[in-house]
Each structure stands twice: as C-alpha cells, then as structure tokens.
C-alpha cells in the first residue's frame, strides 16, 4: 500500500503529468479551486446551470440535440469520405457500395437520417427560442448568429443532397440552384442585374452570374459535384463550427440558458 502511494505520488509529481495537469495533487483548498477553474470541462460547460435549463419541458433540449446531431454528422460523414469519390464516374456506385459492401452499411443511412433530424431539431430549437422570448435583449446578437446557423444547416442539407448523384439529386439541385438566377444584381434574371452594363453589353449573363459560380457551369455537371462536395465537407462545416463556438459562448455570456418568463 505504501509502495502504491509512493508510485502514485511519483506519477502525479512527474514532469509529464504536471505538463498536462498543472495543479498536481489537489491537496489544499487553493489547489482544489485551481483544479476546478482550470478544468477544460468548465471551459466548455457553464459552472452554474439554471434549474429551468435542465427542464425538458422548457428547453426541449433542441439546441443540445442539434449539436449532438452535428457531431453525429461529422463522425459519420468523415467515415463516408473514406469510401466516397466525388466524380460522376464513381459517386453513385460508391454510394451503392457504401450500402452493400462497406462495413456497417448503416453508416450512410445514419448520415442521411441524422441530416433530416438535424434540420428538424434546428427549426424546433428556433421555435422554442422564439416562443420563450429568448431572442430578446441581451440575446439579440445570439439570435442572429442562430439565424445564420440555421441557413448553414439548410445549405449543408442542400449540398449533401447532390452527392449521391442519382436522378433525384441532379434534378433537385437543378431546380434549387435556379433560385440563384434571381439573385439581385448577381443573378442574370435577378433585379438590377440588367443595370450592370458596358455600353449595350450586359455584364451579368448565364455564363458569369451567381448560379454559374455556385455550380461551376451552366448546368449541373462534374464541377458541380466537386464544388458541392468541397462546400459540404469543408467550407460549411468549418463556418458552422466557428459560429457554433460563438453561439455557445454567447449563451453563457448573455446570462446562461434563459429562464421562464
């Protein structure tokens, strides 16, 4: 027993241990306080949680569910990336192989159902925040961050829709991306784009407008698939992750989860 204690002290007082856990053995009140304050858990998690904050009937846990689903999508999506190739030659067959031949064919289904669930939970989260008046000052900025996160969630769903490269995907994105034609100024059918002229020549046309930049061409093709893949796997998740960090941090800085009115 004495040897065990000596071993424990030897480990806890070693350079390696102390480089990871700064405080060492929390054997004084001061060290105990420092150990708690320096904990990563309390960097991520609030020190105090309101009783109403853990009441399901009040929060619906929709924000937490959305974040959980984002993590599920990140893990399953990362795994799918090991088998999926975003080219018109392979995309569809790779999706089939993910279902039929790759280990855990459920992985792709989890990603797909998780995506549907995330869109629903984000909407419900927004609905809850609205109905409890949690968008009001001092939380008005965080509401706006949340609105952007909602848009990013929808864009993640939209870009992921194309990746299976089946008929549903191609025509859904054809229809969906037509909206970009109507972008004010930047879309060739949008308001004010006709005003951008050089003499008589219209500078915004089908070959250089917002839709062209989004899908990398005049119609859905190989470059669209690659573009949406990069947007789906890198650009939008990184942007969403950055905004989520701000969103969660502001929840705490703006007074924690809002209480009942």
Partner 1 sequence: MPEEITPYQVTPKTPLAGSAAADIREQGEVTRRAFPIVLTAAWAFLAAALGGLASVLGRFMFPNVLFEPVQKFKAGFATDYSIGEVDERWKDKFGIWIVRTEDAMYALITVCTHLGCTPNWLASQNKFKCPCHGSGYYKTGVNFEGPAPRPLERAKIFIDPADGQVVVDKSKQFHQERGEWVDPESFIKV
Instruction: Give every CB contact of residue 62 below 8 A, 6+ residues apart in sequence.
Output: 121, 122, 124, 125, 128
Span of 7-15, 96-104, 120-128, 214-222 interacting with partner 1 by CB under 8 A: 96-104
Tell whether residue 104 is a contact of partner 1 (CB under 8 A): yes
* 79 is a site residue for partner 1 (CB under 8 A): yes
Query: Would you count residue 107 as binding partner 1 (CB under 8 A)?
Result: yes
- Smallest separation, CB 55 to partner 1 (Å): 5
Quickly count: other Cβ atoms within 10 Å of residue 27's Cβ: 10
Structure tokens at 153: 């969630």
Supply the minimum distance, in Å, between the C-beta of residue 131 and partner 1.
Answer: 17
**What is the DSSP secondary-structure string of 79-131?**
HHHTT---STTTHHHHHHHHHHTSS-THHHHHHHHHHHHHHHHHHHHHHHHHH
CB 163 within 8 A of CB 91: yes
Residues in the chain: 261
Q: Does 220 bind partner 1 (CB under 8 A)?
A: no
Beta carbon nearer to partner 1, 80 or 240: 80
Does residue 101 interact with partner 1 by CB under 8 A? yes
Could you give the C-alpha distances from 178 to 125, 169, 183, 203, in angstroms and in order? 29, 14, 10, 19
Q: How many residues bind partner 1 (CB under 8 A)?
A: 14
User: Does residue 242 bind partner 1 (CB under 8 A)?
Assistant: no
Q: Is 55 an interacting residue with respect to partner 1 (CB under 8 A)? A: yes
> Least CB distance from residue 245 to partner 1, whole Å?
24
260 backbone φψ class: left, alpha, beta (φ>0; ψ -120 to 50):
beta
**Comparison of 14 and 101: residue with beta carbon closer to partner 1:** 101
Q: Is residue 151 near partner 1 by the rule CB under 8 A?
A: no
Select from 1-9, 77-85, 201-209, 226-234 the region that touches partner 1 (CB under 8 A): 77-85
- Return the residue of 12, 102, 148, 150 that touches partner 1, per CB under 8 A: 102
Of residues 85 and 253, the one with the C-beta less far from partner 1: 85
Q: Which of 5, 43, 48, 51 binds partner 1 (CB under 8 A)?
A: 51
**Are the beta carbons of 112 and 168 closer than 8 angstroms?**
no
Among 37, 44, 54, 195, contact with partner 1 (rule: CB under 8 A)? 54
Structure token digits, residue 180: 């970009």
Question: Is 50 or 181 the residue whose CB approaches partner 1 more closely?
Answer: 50
The Cβ-side half-sphere exposure at 126, using a 13 Å CA radius, reads: 16
- Per DSSP, helices labelled H in 13-44 are 15-20, 29-37, 40-44
Site residues, partner 1 (CB under 8 A): 51-52, 54-55, 57, 79, 82-83, 97, 101-104, 107
């Amino acid at each position: 027993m004495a040897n065990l204690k000596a071993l424990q002290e030897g480990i806890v007082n070693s350079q390696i241990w102390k480089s990871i856990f700064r405080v060492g053995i929390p054997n004084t009140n001061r060290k105990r306080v420092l150990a708690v304050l320096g904990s990563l858990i309390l960097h991520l998690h609030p020190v105090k949680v309101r009783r109403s904050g853990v009441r399901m009937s009040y929060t619906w846990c929709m924000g937490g569910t959305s974040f959980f689903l984002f993590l599920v999508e990140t893990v399953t999506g990362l795994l799918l990336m090991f088998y999926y190739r975003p080219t018109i030659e392979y995309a569809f067959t790779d999706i089939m192989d993910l279902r039929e031949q790759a280990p855990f064919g459920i992985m792709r289904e989890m990603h797909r159902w998780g995506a549907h669930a995330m869109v629903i939970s984000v909407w419900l989260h927004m609905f809850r925040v609205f109905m409890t008046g949690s968008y009001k000052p001092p939380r008005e900025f965080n509401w706006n961050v949340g609105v952007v996160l909602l848009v990013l969630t929808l864009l993640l769903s939209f870009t992921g829709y194309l990746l299976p490269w089946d008929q549903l995907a191609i025509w859904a994105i054809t229809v969906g991306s037509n909206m970009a034609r109507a972008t004010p100024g930047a879309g060739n059918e949008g308001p004010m784009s006709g005003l951008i002229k050089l003499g008589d020549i219209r500078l915004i046309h089908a070959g250089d407008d917002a839709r062209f930049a989004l899908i990398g061409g005049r119609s859905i093709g190989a470059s669209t698939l690659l573009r949406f893949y990069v947007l789906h796997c890198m650009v939008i998740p990184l942007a969403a992750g950055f905004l989520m960090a701000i969103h969660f941090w502001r929840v705490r800085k703006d007074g924690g989860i809002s209480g009942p009115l």
